[in-house]
Structure 1
Amino acid sequence: MDDGVAMFAVIVLFMLATVMAVALGERIRRPYPVLVSVLGLLLAFTPLPALHIPPELILPLFLPPLIYATAQRTSWGMLISRRRTIFWLAGVLVLLTVAATAATTYWAIGGVSVAAAVALGAAVAPPDPVAAEAVAGPLDLPRRLITVLQTEGLCNDATAFVVFGVAITAINTGHYSLPSAILLFVWEVVAAIGIGLGLGWVATRMQNRLDNVTARSALTLIFPFATYLLADASHASGVLAVLAVSLYIGQTGADEAGVSDRLTSTAFWDTLEMLITGLAFGLIGLELREVWPGTDRLGSYALHAGIVCAVVIGLRFAWMMSVGPFMRRFGTYGYREGYELDVASSWRDDFILAFCGFRGLATLALALALPATTPHRAELLFVAFTAILVTLIVPGLVMPWVVRVLGVQKEHDAEEQAVQDVAYRASRAALRRLRQLDAEEDLPTEVVQRLRYAQRQLVAELCDVVPEDLQDGFEQRKMHREIRRRVESQMLEASRAEVLLARTEPGVDPEAVDQVLRRLDLRSAHLL
């Protein structure tokens, strides 16, 4: 089989494995990315062709869509409220991890240069945002903990990448400059945000000029790649740039076109994110073949890797378990609208955050980017790869048990209250608009009263809280609505079956069938 065809077959295999891993993961309560990574590890020792992706292409291929999908679940306000978290975790902790890992590597591996040790430290320091979302997300953890892991992962690459770049410069030239590194870091952050916001503005203007919903959705796939490439060419942070463009695009779309875009793109991005995540984590497992040492060196490599992993994990636990109480005591986790926002409310939360220091694609790509002339490069690659496995697969497999033992559960009351706050805010906006229209157009009194009543009913359904004046007969009306929805759903199902049957008959225009079928589907979606 031709090498290109064989590699394509491997890609298809991992996509199929991802779909199966999702189903299996739901049954055994284990994250599917970890299961796909384990499959990649097993396949690494088979004759299956390797995916030879150049190291410089790993991040541009995988990170833009995955960062975009992850960033859609956060907001500018959330990042601002977590600015102290970003400082402590994405800044200070990353630098401490780089220093500790570099010192340990320099001590453990004889002959390695300081610059190479720092480069390895920068590679293994940043936890991965995609891994945090994919592994910790399905475990019913409190949403506030998931947002901390997302925020940390989305913002820590600027620190690690700048340090890595300085180390690579030192490896190649033998010189480095601390002032230049500081200026480079500032440029990476500022330029990345500027590029992201600028391209976000361009993307939204282009979307507004396109009438085709599919074309508008396609732009959301193209612009993350374009943003990452432009930021990378400008020596800015690609991850931060994609984060900025994602947040800019995500805040638009309040009109009818925005509604159509959201309905169309949600399924598209859910599917794309699942397949790319599975392929990326399968690649991590499959790369074991590239870094596996000979039997004569395996013992020393494993010993050094174990020491480095112990330092990386131990430092994160020590930091979280000691700094966590300090953060709570002095409110340094962040705040929102003038009141403190408890992120980690106890030592159990600190332990979970420490346990979730997953390394992923960024570590793999940075390690593979070490120059070929780097002394002890093979061993450094093995150490970095081991760090990924130890911090990703082992915690991913035992996380459900840890969460259950610690009793850390999703805070349904708090999250329901958050939903109620947003629903009431939306209702107040709707009623304000109704008053404006009534004043402008002098609407019939009966119409205004019915719209007010319908709005209150809608809020009661969204919040599952019934005002006293609506309680009489509310349950009966709710039951009637459920009956109507159930019956209408079955009626629409019968309609679709008849339309699909018509599609098989000669003389029936398939395009006409598809138009009717889409309208029926939209009506079904309206019932949900």
Structure 2
Amino acid sequence: MEMLLLVVGLMLAAVVLVGVGERLRLPWPALMVVLGAVAALVPGLPDGFAVDPDLILPLFLPPLLFATAQRTSWALFRARWRTIALLAVALVLVTVTAVSATAWALVPGIALTAAVALGAMVAPPDPVAVEAVAGQVAIPRRLIAVLQSEGLFNDAIALVVFQTAVLATVSGDELSPLGLGWRFVAGAAGAVVLGLAVAWLARTVLGRLTDTTGRSALTLVLPFATYLAAEEVHASGVVAVVVLALQLRARAGADEAAERITQTSLWDVVELLATGVAFGLIGLDLRQVVTGAGDELPRMLGHAAVVCVVVVAVRTLWMFVAWRVVRRGDDATSVPRTGREAVLLAWCGMRGLATLALALSLPVTLASGAPFPFRSELVLIAISVLVVTLLLPAFTLPALVRALGVDDEAEAERRAEREIVLRARRAAMATVEFERGIRHLPDDVGTRLRERMERLGGVLSGETATEEDRQRLAAIQAVRGQLAEAEASALAAARAEVLSARREPGVDPHAADRVLRRLDLRTVLLD
């Protein structure tokens, strides 16, 4: 019951902190971490708030990865595969190496395999944290897309390195780079095949489901089922879920507008609640970490500070080297293009769920029955890196973006959006001309239809082409605005009456809800 109360409380806190974050102009997930940490350190609270580490990844990663992956596309990966490979694979391995060497030098007597396990814990930036923190700041979407793409795949290699290093530590065997590479390649390949197969099967089933609610419910179950199936066959659950999301979005039909509206609303709610609970648990687990450190806390925190500096320094150096390489090439899709972008990408290496789950999943004992060496210190260092790389960017990114001036790409992004609007308008106009020909529409009907489609660009982009169009639109909007206000008031009165009737005895609530839903839809269309 305590765990149920905890989860419900974190969900309520997430809803409240969304509003608080908007008012304070701070990322609410970071506020959730702070709130969880404050709540965990309150004296007298029970210690039974720890979540089984084996459940953290299967519960939170599938829906959050699925929601994040739906915002990207195969085309983006094909265009930026070099950048993504350098960040999601090469940078992770370099970070693992640097952190492992640092831990091996700092902690006398630590096994190399245990140090590598620590490196794998803190190496992968988290795509959920990137979206939760950087997505709320005025950063060019081009950079956000790269950060998200990096985070979608780096968990896979970090998990393989971590599992191999832990297994070697527990059994006393040596770490085999060749075996490590084979496990990663085989796991990734199997995950891609599984993700594509599940996506094909899902599209087949969705094609036979006519109920929008059922179709949305299936997409909610699929990420969990795919992740668990991949883990069962020793493939990468992370890669499988990402491939599933990309393929489903790639195969979506143009006539699925209502379904997209429903699923977007559903996943917005799921993502908010899952993110709130996950980031709240990060804060709550700080108590467990501090308690496990005991009297050695000051010394461990000193080691953690050194590792934090190494993690940030490695990412910063890597980004500036990447900038130098990109600047010499002619690939317009590569990033970072400028030194300012290199600074921003270096500062956005937020750690999140994967680091938390891996740290807490360290075994307590070895195969011999002896305690896992330096477990408390490794967990404390990993959680310290998580907190530093998450909270510092969360509270400083807005000021950094303003200082660097990297938000000046807004006009370029608007131009890209206008190009898409023009393509949509041209397609609509071509269809109008085709329909006029085959349906033999009267001239006045065809003319009105053509005028409506000519104004489609302005409707989609919020702009019009000429001053005359703007004046005409303003006149129409003035009349329509008055009509809309009157209609909104009438609809509000109708909703109030339906709600009042619903509370009366003898009225069927289900019938009232059906009428209320139609009124709500009419109101949304009016807006």
Q: TM-score, normalised by structure 2?
A: 0.93
Among 361, 368, 374, the alignment partner of 2:360 is 368
Q: Of the candidates 84, 93, 96, which is equivalent to residue 95 of structure 1? A: 93
Tell me which of 117, 124, 128 is aligned to 2:122.
Answer: 124
Give yes or no for contact 2:123–2:158 (8 Å, CA) kept in 1. Answer: yes
Quick one: distance in 2 between partners of 1:117 and 1:429? 58
Structure 2 Cα separation of the partners of residues 514 and 16 of structure 1: 25
Amino acid of the structure 2 residue aligned with 1:224: P
Q: Is the 8 A contact 1:105 1:117 kept in 2?
A: yes
Amino acid at match of 2:151: G
Return closer, same or farther for 1:343/1:438 CA change in 2, 3 Å cut-off: farther
Letter in 1 for 2:176: S
Q: Residue 431 of structure 2 corresponds to which residue in structure 1?
A: 433
SS in 1 for 2:450: helix
**In the alignment, does 2:333 pair up with 1:341?**
yes
Question: Percent of aligned pairs with the same residue?
Answer: 46
Check whether the contact 1:31–1:138 (CA below 8 A) recurs between aligned residues: yes
1:214 aligns with 2:213: yes
Could you tell me whether the CA contact under 8 Å between 1:140 and 1:410 is conserved in 2? no
Comparing 127-136 with 66-75, greater Cα deviation is found at 66-75
Distance 2:65 2:494 in 1: 40
| Post-superposition offset of 1:54 | 1.8
Q: Which residue of 1 aligns with 2:108?
A: 110
Taking the aligned partners of 2:286 and 2:465, their CA distance within structure 1 comes to 60
Deviation at 1:48, TM superposition (A): 2.7
Change (3 A) 1:205 1:489: farther
Map 1:97-176 to 2 at 5 A. Answer: 97-173=95-171, 174-176=173-175
Amino acid at match of 1:379: E
Aligned CA distance change for structure 1 residues 37 and 463 (closer, same or farther; 3 Å): same
Match of 1:35 in 2: 31
Q: Give the alignment partner of residue 76 of structure 1, picking from 70, 74, 99.
A: 74
1:491 Cα deviation after fit: 2.6
Q: Partner of 1:17 in structure 2?
A: 13
How far apart are residue 115 of structure 1 and its match? 0.9
Which residue, 427, 447, 451 being the options, matches 1:449? 447
Q: Is the 8 A contact 2:138 2:401 kept in 1?
A: no
What secondary structure, in the 3-state scheme, does the structure 2 residue paired with 1:344 have? coil
Native 8 Å contact 1:143 1:410 kept in 2: no
Q: CA deviation at 1:472?
A: 6.5
Contiguous gaps of at least 5 residues in structure 2: 367-371
Deviations 1:42-101 (A, max 9, x none): 222233334332212110001111111111211111222221111111111111001000
Letter in 2 for 1:300: R
Do the aligned partners of 2:196 and 2:243 also contact (CA within 8 Å) in 1?
Answer: yes
CA-to-aligned-CA distance 1:178-217 (integer Å, 9 cap, x gap):
3332222222222212211211222222222222222211
Give the Å deviation of 1:255.
5.1
Q: C-alpha offsets along residues 86-131 of structure 1, whole Å, 9 cap, x if unaligned? A: 1111111111001000111111111111111111111110000000
Partners of 1:128 and 1:270 in 2: CA distance: 18
Give the whole-Å Cα distance in 2 for the aligned partners of 1:101 and 1:502. 65
The one-letter code sitting in structure 1 at the alignment partner of 2:347 is F
Gap runs ≥5 in structure 1: 333-339
After superposing the two structures, state which structure 1 stretch, 364-373 or 130-139, moved more. 364-373
The answer to whether the aligner puts 1:355 opposite 2:353 as a matched pair is no
Amino acid at match of 1:209: R
Is contact 2:50-2:285 (8 Å) kept? no
State the Cα distance separating 1:342 from its structure 2 match.
6.0
Task: Map residues 234-253 of structure 1 onto 2, 5 A cutoff.
Answer: 234-253=233-252
Q: Distance in 1 between matches of 2:504 and 2:38?
A: 49
Task: Provide Cα deviations, 1:315-340, integer angstroms capped at 9, x if missing partner.
Answer: 111111232232233145xxxxxxx2
| One-letter amino acid of the counterpart of residue 5, structure 2 | A
Match of 2:522 in 1: 523
Between the aligned partners of 1:271 and 1:472, the Cα distance in structure 2 is: 40
Q: Which residue of 2 aligns with 1:336?
A: none
What is the RMSD computed on CA atoms of the aligned residues? 2.0
- Separation in 2, partners of 1:350, 1:397: 19
CA deviation string 1:421-440 (max 9, x = no partner): 22222222223333443444
Change (3 A) 1:13 1:265: same
> What do residues 348-398 of structure 1 show as CA deviations (whole Å, max 9, x unaligned)?
221111111111110111122222223111111111111111111122122
Q: Name the CA distance, whole Å, in 1 between partners of 2:518 and 2:28.
A: 35
Given that residues 94 and 160 in structure 1 are in contact (C-alpha distance below 8 angstroms), is that contact kept between their aligned partners in structure 2? Answer: yes
User: Counterparts of 1:508 and 1:8 in 2: how far apart (Å)?
Assistant: 35
Amino acid at match of 2:29: P
- Measured in 2, the distance between the counterparts of 1:490 and 1:416 equals 34
Preserved CA contact (<8 Å) 2:153 2:239: yes
Which residue is 1:315 aligned to? Answer: 314
Matched AA of 2:198: L
2:351/2:389 contact within 8 Å kept: yes
Which of 404, 407, 423 in structure 2 is aligned with 1:406?
Answer: 404
Show CA shifts across 1:440-487 (max 9, x none). Answer: 433333333222210111212222442348456333223333333333
Which shows bigger deviation, 431-440 or 394-403?
431-440
Matched, 1:48 2:40: no
Aligned residues: 516
1:284-295 matches, within 5 Å, as 284-292=282-290, 293-295=292-294
Deviation of 1:283 after TM superposition, in Å, equals 0.7
TM-score scaled by structure 1? 0.92
Aligned equivalents of 1:127, 1:474: Cα separation in 2: 47
CA deviation after TM superposition for structure 1 residue 507, in Å = 4.1
Aligned-pair CA distance for 1:343: 4.1
What amino acid sits opposite 1:89 in the alignment? L
Moved more, 288-297 or 220-229: 288-297
Give every structure 1 segment of 4 or more consecutive aligned residues whose post-TM-superposition deviation is greater than 4 Å.
468-472
CA deviation map 1:473-507 (0-9, x unaligned) = 33322333333333332232222223223323444
Which residue of structure 1 aligns with residue 369 of structure 2?
A: none
More deviation, 354-363/163-172: 163-172
- The 2-side partners of 1:36 and 1:137 are apart by 16
Which amino acid letter does the alignment assign opposite residue 30 of structure 1? L
Matched residue, 1:335: none
Q: Which one-letter code corresponds to 1:351 in the other structure?
A: V
2:515 aligned counterpart, secondary structure: helix
Give the secondary-structure state (helix, strand or coil) at the position aligned to 1:473: helix
Change (3 A) 1:116 1:219: same
- SS of 1:57's partner is helix
Secondary structure (helix, strand or coil) at the match of 1:214 reads helix
Which residue of structure 2 lines up, in the alignment, with residue 337 of structure 1? none
